[in-house]
Structure 1
C-alpha cells in the first residue's frame, strides 16, 4: 500500500450527552479530505482510541470508510489485549478499512517471539502498521523479524530515538527491501521532520492537519521556514504544558474551526481557556504565514 503526503488523524467528536457524534465526525473527516491527505487514521491516538467502547470504535471506523469513499486509504486503531485487538480488527475489516495501526499490548510485556505471535494473529485480518511507543519498542533486529510477518507493512515511530529508527530503517532495507513503510508519528511531527528526512523517512502524521489542514498542507509543499519557528515550535511548547494536550489541543482546534466536537474523555482533560485563546492566535498567525488567512 502506497501511503504518501500528510497522514490525517481525525479526532472523535462526542455529543453533549457523551455519545459518539457520527454526523460531526463525517463532516470533520470530509473537511480534511478536501486537502488530499495520504491516509485517514480513525479511532487512533488523536481519536481517543483508549476511551472508545467496542461499538463506538466500530462506528467510528465505519463513518471514516463511508466518508472517504476511496479518496484516501482508511486505517483503524487496534491494540491492547489480544481479544480486544482481534475484535477491533474484525470490525474494521467488516467496515471496509484498508488496514490497522496496531497499538502496543498495554500493561504486559512478553518475549520477542510472543510479540511476533501477537502481531501475526492481528495481521491475518488486515494489513498492519506497527506503532512504536510504550511497551512496543523493538530492536532493529526485531523490526526486521516483524517486517517479515505477512501483512505487516510499516512502522510509525512515536519514540523519537533517531539512532534507533535509523538502524531499524537500514536493517529493514537490507533484509526486507523498500516495500516496508516508515513514518514519523511524533506529536507535531513537522518540528522533527528535518531529522527524519536526514535518515530517509519522508512520511509523517500531522496533528495540525486535523484542525488547520491549510497550514499543514502549506508546510508540506515547502512553506516558509517561519511556519516552523512561529507556528509549530510555539504549538509544541503549548502542547507540552499539560499531559494529554497532544489530544486536547487538537480537539480544541477543531472546535475553534466551528465544529461542536464535544469534550475529551477522562483521564484526559480539556484545554484551559487561556491555552485555547493562545491556540486561536497561533492558528490565525499560521494561516497568515501560509497565505490562507
Structure 2
C-alpha cells in the first residue's frame, strides 16, 4: 500500500499561527497533480510536536477529506507516551487514514524491549496498518535490526521509515523480513542507495516543493533505469541539502512561501529562516527554476 514517492507534508499556518486549512488543501492538490503516491500528515515535517490533539486531528481530517481516497494517507500518530500514541492512532483510524506512522519514543530512551512492547501494544490496540519510524537524530535512540525483525512478525506492522542513515541496517532488515514488510527511506538524499537494496520508496521532504522530480527519481529506480536514476539523484542533491540548512521544516516552508503556496511561519521553538540561509535557499531554488 505504501510505496513510491510519499510526501511528508508541511502544516501551513496563517499569520496568527493557526492551521491554514485552505492552504493545506491546495498543497494536497499540488501533490496529487504532480504524481505523489501517498501523503504523510502530522509527521516531523508537519510539526506534529507543536500540534495539540485537536489540531492534530484537524489536519488529518482535512487531509482525508481532500485526498478523497485518491492516494493512501499514512498519518503521523507517534508519541513518547504509549497511551497517547494509542489515542492518536485510534483517532486517525476513525478519521479515515489508511495507516499510521509511529516514531520511536523520544526523550524516555527506552530499552529495545521497551521499544518492542511500545509498538506491540499500539498494534494490538488499534487494527490499522502501522509503519515504524526510526530517526535516531531526533529521538536519541536507534531501533535495532533485531527489534525491527521481531516487530515485523506482528501482522499490522507493515514497514519502517528508516531515517537512521544506515543502508547496511536497512539491508539486514530486508534480508530477514518478507516481501510484505516495506522499508521507505526517511532521507531524501539516500533514496537511491536505499532503494538499490530493496526499499520501496521514500517519505520525502523535498517533495513538498518538487513532487514531480522526486516521483521521477523513484519511478526510474522502480523501472530499472539506473543511469536515469543516478542522474536524477545528482540533480536533486543540492535541493535535498538546502532543505536541511536549518531545522526541518523551516526551509521547506520558506521555499513554499517563495513559490506563493503558503506562509513560511513555524511554531516556537522553531523560528523562520535566518537571512543568510534565505539567500542560499533562493540561489538553489533559482537554479532549479522554482523561482525567478
TM-score by length of 1: 0.87
Q: Does 1:254 align with 2:256?
A: yes
Residue 142 in structure 1 maps to residue 147 in structure 2: yes
Instruction: Supply the distance in 2 between the matched residues of 1:140 and 1:232 (Cα, whole angstroms).
Output: 29
Residue 264 of structure 1 corresponds to 266
Cα distance, 1:47 vs structure 2:
0.4
- Deviation by residue 1:7-56 (Cα, 9 ceiling, x = unmatched): 01110011111111111111111111112222110010110111111101
Show CA shifts across 1:43-81 (max 9, x none): 101101111111010000000100110111111111221
Alignment gaps of 5+ in structure 2: 221-227
Q: Quickly say closer, same or farther: Cα 1:270–1:227, change in 2 above 3 A.
A: farther
| 1:275-286 equivalent positions in 2, closer than 5 A | 275-286=277-288
| Separation (CA, whole Å) in 1 of partners of 2:244 and 2:8 | 19
Equivalent-residue separation in structure 1 for 2:275 and 2:231 (angstroms):
26
Cα gap change, 1:79/1:253 in structure 2, threshold over 3 Å: closer, same or farther? same
Matched, 1:46 2:45: yes
Is the alpha carbon distance of 1:226 and 1:115 closer, same or farther for their aligned partners in structure 2, counting shifts above 3 Å?
A: closer
Contact 1:74 1:97 (8 Å CA) reproduced: yes
Question: What's 1:90 paired with?
Answer: 90
Give distance in 1, aligned partners of 2:229 and 2:196.
19
C-alpha distance in 1 between matches for 2:135 and 2:216: 28
Residue 158 (structure 1) aligns with:
163
Structure 1: segments with no counterpart, 5+ residues: none
Q: Compared with structure 1, are the counterparts of its residues 257 and 241 closer, same or farther at alpha carbon in structure 2 (3 Å cutoff)?
A: closer
**From 212, 232, 235, the counterpart of 2:236:** 232
Root-mean-square deviation over aligned CA pairs:
2.3
Q: Contact 2:206–2:240 at 8 Å: present in 1 too? A: no
Q: Deviations over 1:174-223 (max 9, x none)?
A: xxx2101111111xx1x223321332224112212111223323433445
Cα shift at 1:131 = 0.3
Q: Classify 1:108/1:153 alpha carbon distance in 2 versus 1 (closer, same or farther; 3 Å).
A: same
**Cα distance 1:218–1:6, how it changes in 2: closer, same or farther (>3 A)?**
same
SS at 1:156's partner residue? Answer: strand
Cα deviation, 1:104-134, whole Å, max 9, x if unaligned, reads 2121133433322211222231221000123
Task: Give the distance between the partners of 1:226 and 1:281, measured in 2 at CA.
Answer: 21
Give secondary structure in 2 for the equivalent of 1:251.
Answer: helix
Aligned residues: 279
TM norm structure 2: 0.87
Distance 2:197 2:31 in 1: 29
8 Å CA contact 2:129–2:157 kept in 1: the answer is yes
